[in-house]
Amino acid sequence: MAAAPAAPPFVVVAIPTFRRPEQLVQLLRSLAAMHDRPDMAILIADNDDRGRGGIAAAQALVEQGFPIPIDAFPVAEPGLCHNRNALVARALVHPRMTHVAMLDDDQWVDPDWIATLTREAFAQDADIVAGPVLFEFEGETPDWNAAIPLFRAEPHATGPVDMLFSLTNALSTRACWEATPAPWFDLRFNQIGGEDFDLYSRWKAQGLRFGWTTAAVVHEIVPGDRAQLPWIWRRMWRVGNTDTMVAWKHAGMGRRGWLVARTLLMTGAAVATAPLSLRSRLARIERTGRIIRLGGRIAGLAGYGWREYADRS
């Protein structure tokens, strides 16, 4: 359980990056523009061990007098979990660190982002407190966005919540990480994704307290290649994979039998009622996405996960 700090918080902002130097600079500049920020430092783990464009971009800002200390370093082992684990290990070495905040390199923050997260963490007595990610399309927002949940913020009100799903735009205490054996992010999810949901599932089992605030806002760009239904279907399939793989990992034998039965029943019901959505294009898109995600769950039961992050060449 979180407790009031004996000293003011010191936040380490941890950012994994891979070949997005321009977007990383936008994120860093938004961090520098924050109001009422506590003592803090920034860690950047660059998973492009050859080009290291993220490191070069961060160093250029430091040379220009960037107001927050930055430690940018390479991570040779490819994959999401290797990169995040390297960030956590580096953060725990910092003697003053009280909290870790995670962001992605294609995001940027509102001016009161970290002040709001730290205030709400103590107000809610939360071990982990998170906020919404608002997605912004490069072009016009597609009409199907209303039918697909991928680019929507988690639908919570401010206050304690039972569960969280994304580690981007989340603030966690040092004690969370120190009480969790390394590697903090399970390497089984290294090229698949879902590593944050898996971590949250372990933290929930440990009895850690989750909180939410609608006022700590992070923005994320949706590039044109992701604003296409073929990409959406692949992501929905992968989300289905990781949904089931995480649930299977944390379920006992009895629960695993129920997980199989429930997944098959939900898939059968979705397919059987699919003709009801034929009259509306958005209803067809919503139902197609649901069936694809359920198909991904069935594949996850067999241990298959689409390696969305495998191509790092």
Cβ density class 57-93: b for 16+ within 10 Å, e for less: bbeebeeeebebebbbebbeebbbbbbbbbbbebbbe
CA distance 182 to 180: 6
pTM: 0.91
For residue 75, tell me if it sits in a domain. Answer: yes
Is residue 127 within 8 Å of residue 175, measured between CB atoms?
A: yes
| Structure tokens given for 300 | 């996850």
- Identify the bridge partners of residue 6 per DSSP, sorted by sequence position: none
C-alpha span between 273 and 295 (Å, rounded): 15
* Cβ atoms of residues 305 and 238 within 8 Å: yes
77 and 132 inside one domain: yes
Q: How much is the pLDDT for 160?
A: 97
Q: Which pLDDT belongs to residue 6?
A: 58
4 within some domain: no
Same domain, 107 and 148: yes
Cα separation, 18 vs 37, in Å, equals 26
The 3-state DSSP class for residue 171 equals strand
Q: How many domains does the chain have?
A: 2
Q: Is residue 61 part of a domain?
A: yes
pLDDT at 313: 54
Q: What is the pLDDT along the chain (313 residues), one digit of tens a residue?
A: 455 445 689 999 999 999 999 999 999 999 999 999 999 999 999 999 889 999 999 999 999 999 999 999 999 999 999 999 999 999 999 999 999 999 999 999 999 999 999 999 999 999 999 999 999 999 899 999 989 989 988 889 999 999 999 999 999 999 999 999 999 999 999 999 999 999 999 999 999 999 999 999 999 999 999 999 999 999 999 999 999 999 999 987 778 888 889 898 988 888 888 787 777 889 899 999 999 999 999 999 988 888 888 765 5
**Domain match, 132 and 237 both:** no
Q: Do 256 and 117 share a structural domain?
A: no
Could you say which of 200, 225, 250 is where a domain stops? Answer: 225
**Of 208, 225, 242, the domain-final residue:** 225
Quick one: tokens of 98? Answer: 């009280």
* CB contact at 8 A, 20 and 49: no
Identify the burial level of 139 via C-beta atoms within 10 angstroms of its C-beta, where 0-12 means exposed, 13-18 middle and 19 or more buried: exposed
Looking at the structure, do residues 145 and 283 belong to the same domain, yes or no? no
pLDDT reported for residue 312: 59
| Helix, strand, or coil (residue 219) | strand
CATH number at residue 104: 3.90.550.10
Residues 132 and 251 in one domain: no
Residues 243, 218 share a domain: no
Query: Residues 203, 172: one domain?
Result: yes
Pairwise CA distance, residues 192 & 175, whole Å: 27
Three-class secondary structure of residue 108 per DSSP: strand
Last residue of a domain, which of 209, 225, 241?
A: 225
Residue range(s) defining the domain that contains residue 156: 10-225
Same domain, 214 and 275: no
pLDDT at position 311 is: 65
Does residue 309 belong to any structural domain of this protein?
no
Give me the sheet containing 133-137, strands edge to edge.
Answer: 107-109, 218-222, 133-137
Q: Residue 312 domain-assigned?
A: no
**pLDDT value at residue 179:** 94
| Same domain, residue pair 289 and 167 | no
